[in-house]
Amino acid sequence: MSLYRLITPILSFCFLSVIIFSCLPMGAQTQDEMIVLSLFYEEKDLVVTPTRYPKPISQVAENISVITEREIEAMNAHTVAEVLSRVPGLYVGFNQDFGASSLLYIQGSEQRHVLVLVDGIPWNFLSEGGAETNSIPVGTIDRIEIVKGPASSAWGSSLGGVVNILTKPTGDRQRPTGSIRASYGEKNSQDYRAQVSGMAGPVGYYLFAGRQDSKGLRDARYFDNYSLYGKFHLPVSDYVEADLSMGYSRPDIKLGEFPARDFNATASLHSFFVAASIEAFLARGLSLKVSYHTLKQKSQHMNDVLGLGMIPDPPGELFLESIFDEETTGGSAKLVWEKGRHTAVLGVDFDQGRLDQTLNAGSYLQDYWGVPASSATHPEIDQRAVYANDTILIGEWSLTPGIRVDDNSITGSFVSPSLGLTRKWGKESLFRASAARGFTIPPLSSSSGGGLFLDPNPALDPEEVWSFQAGIESGALKYLWARATLFRHDLDNALILEPYGGGPPAYNDLIINDGEVRRQGLELEFQTLPFHHFSLQAGFSYVDISPSAESGAEEPYAWNIGLRYDDKASFRAELFGRFVKWDVAPVYNASYDDFIWELNLNKKILSGKTMNTEVFLTAHNLFDGEQFVGEDHRNPETWIEAGIRLLF
């Protein structure tokens, strides 16, 4: 399909929006709606992910998207995956069931290339390299910052991009504030949350508890999760502040039945983390922050025989159990100097990770394939890094040079330079451009642990990329904000599977570095100024991947289209549709026939001095569309849920 045919509808949307909103009478708008949409983000909005220190988003050269707490609340989302699926350029692979597992891809990257952070703590698995986001309570999120493209000069192993999830702050008043939320939908799908923040003496706190449960919107699925989270802030003195946070979650999920493989799959994930930091303001414009964290994640995947005849074992017999018990301990120190036109950051990171990997095989794998009943490996990795960057303001220009040197016990050292540039044209337009070198460390299962019919390859090198992006965003069209971004990523040392590459006697497969991959494309985003509280939004992304990972696969592209109503007082509504064309081969029988539409309604019904009450209703997959990457991963049909939210 030609690029012209892909972008024509969205350009038509842009054109019609301008015509419609230009023809509307000015006197019909409220004072708030008369505000000129100069930039999509306000100058006061700060982001931390690009340089690891807050800076105005107008000075950020990287391709960045931000999702706020208010936007997440309007979605009535249950998982991070639901939220991220609306971001142009970020492709989220999940079956859209309640609490479903998710795979994250940015601009055609692999999931192991995307670094997921929770308040700066790396959330990716050591075993496979990707991250599971359904263990992160969506109710704790203050905002999500997504950097599309390599962020290795700041964060290390992240050649595809970074998803940084920032949790809500502690309270700053003695009187507690918070909310209680409950929802119920089809197939006994339930989501309960309670949160409170405030101050106890000098200590600020934020506490969260959540419970989710569903029988599964498709047969043979279910989801169950408990989560707890707490954050505390203590001003030690006028110049020293300390923070402590901790969290626990325990999702249990049945992924469904897979008839083509004659087994069903269940999984559980237990996550626990503790993080502490202390920040000292040493002098005017000079600060030092030291932090420590530990993260434990234990994932268990169980495959049982369905009994359809392809595996000669009775139904319910164990086929394979995979247990990955991981612990990562690390810390960082960061020195920030702000003087005149400079904001310079100098930091060090260190991490130690250990993976206990156990595979338990059923009788079929033992008898027919010679797999041992149980096997275990215990790979480890040590990582150290030093990084530096500076944001330099020169008139309307902002220049951001950065560099980081990483060293780890698996692949050795790697240098990641970057250079970013922004320029403002008046109050309406902003140009961004960046060039960066990035890398991703091979997962421990590939380099040290191995797997079922997979030998480890200790000779693996990191995958590396050179990336170039440029874009412009503007509100010069009086009632329309628009952003366009072009990108190109040239990947070397790509990891591929070499069948039987392990050689005799087992002739297991082997992961090797081989070949080059080019990913290039564009992203388009549009949003109209509100008129009578209504606004339109649209997004489009397209990636050309060469060579394609799948024989016969086409280039991936995605659409986002939405209509919103928000009176800023008592009623919010949105109709949002998304369409994703994945780069999978025809053999998987994927279906991309339809947009998936969601309708969200939020209404304030009671308002008092100390408490407000809201009710909400969501219709998922409103028009019963089909959008899935394989026959065994079908998305749910239309389903509806309703709930109530108490704010105090």
pLDDT tens for each residue of 355-410: 999 999 999 999 999 999 999 999 999 999 999 999 999 999 999 999 999 999 99
**pLDDT at 38 > cutoff 70:** no
* Residue 247: strand pairing partners: 229, 273
pLDDT tens digits, 277-304? 999 999 999 999 999 999 999 999 999 9
What pLDDT, on a 0 to 100 scale, did the predictor assign at position 187?
Answer: 94
Task: Give the separation between CA 145 and CA 48, rounded to whole angstroms.
Answer: 8
Query: Is residue 42 very low, low, confident or very high in pLDDT (cuts 50, 70, 90)?
Result: low
- How many Cα atoms sit within 13 Å of 135 on the Cβ side? 26
Token pair for 63: 């391709």
For residues 505, 506, 508, 510, the Cα torsion angle rounded to the nearest 10 degrees is -30
**pLDDT at 28 > cutoff 50:** no
Mean pLDDT, rounded, for 107-133: 95
Query: Is residue 352 very low, low, confident or very high in pLDDT (cuts 50, 70, 90)?
Result: very high
Token pair for 18: 């301008």
Task: Give the separation between CA 57 and CA 51, rounded to whole angstroms.
Answer: 11
For residues 40, 43, 45, 47, the Cα torsion angle rounded to the nearest 10 degrees is 100
Least confident stretch, 87-91, 286-290, 504-508, 589-593? 589-593
Share of the chain above pLDDT 70, in %: 92
What pLDDT, on a 0 to 100 scale, did the predictor assign at position 35?
Answer: 40
Q: Which pTM was predicted?
A: 0.92
**pLDDT at 31 > cutoff 60:** no
Specify whether the CB–CB gap between 67 and 143 falls below 8 A.
yes
**pLDDT at 20 > cutoff 50:** no
Query: Is residue 3 very low, low, confident or very high in pLDDT (cuts 50, 70, 90)?
Result: very low
Mean pLDDT, rounded, for 429-438: 96
Task: Give the separation between CA 233 and CA 301, rounded to whole angstroms.
Answer: 37
Mean pLDDT, rounded, for 613-639: 91
Domain ranges of the chain: 3-647
Mean pLDDT, rounded, for 426-452: 94
**pLDDT at 52 > cutoff 60:** yes
Q: What CATH superfamily classification does 3-647 receive?
A: TonB-dependent receptor, beta-barrel domain (2.40.170.20)
Query: Is residue 585 very low, low, confident or very high in pLDDT (cuts 50, 70, 90)?
Result: confident
**pLDDT at 29 > cutoff 60:** no
Q: Exposed, middle or buried: residue 25 (CB in 10 Å: 0-12, 13-18, 19+)? A: exposed
509-513/454-455 β-pairing? parallel
Residue holding tokens 């609306």?
86
Query: Is residue 549 very low, low, confident or very high in pLDDT (cuts 50, 70, 90)?
Result: low
Share of the chain above pLDDT 90, in %: 80
Q: Which residue has the higher pLDDT, 2 or 572?
A: 572
Query: Is residue 96 very low, low, confident or very high in pLDDT (cuts 50, 70, 90)?
Result: confident
**pLDDT at 199 > cutoff 50:** yes
pLDDT tens digits, 459-470? 999 999 999 999
> How does DSSP assign 384-437, residue by residue?
EEEEEEEEEEETTEEEEEEEEEEEETTTEEEEEEEEEEEEEETTTEEEEEEEEE
Between the CA of residue 574 and those of 148, 273, 294, what are the distances in Å? 26, 35, 39
Phi, psi torsion values for 80, nearest 5 degrees: -65, -35
Task: Give the separation between CA 419 and CA 435, rounded to whole angstroms.
Answer: 5
What pLDDT, on a 0 to 100 scale, did the predictor assign at position 515?
Answer: 83
**pLDDT at 32 > cutoff 50:** no
Mean pLDDT, rounded, for 596-615: 94
What pLDDT, on a 0 to 100 scale, did the predictor assign at position 437?
Answer: 98
Task: Give the separation between CA 285 and CA 279, rounded to whole angstroms.
Answer: 13
Task: Give the separation between CA 150 and CA 492, rounded to whole angstroms.
Answer: 14
Provide the 10 A C-beta neighbour count for residue 189: 25
- The helix (H) or strand (E) run that includes residue 330 is strand 318-339
Average pLDDT of the chain, as a whole number: 90
Mean pLDDT, rounded, for 40-48: 68
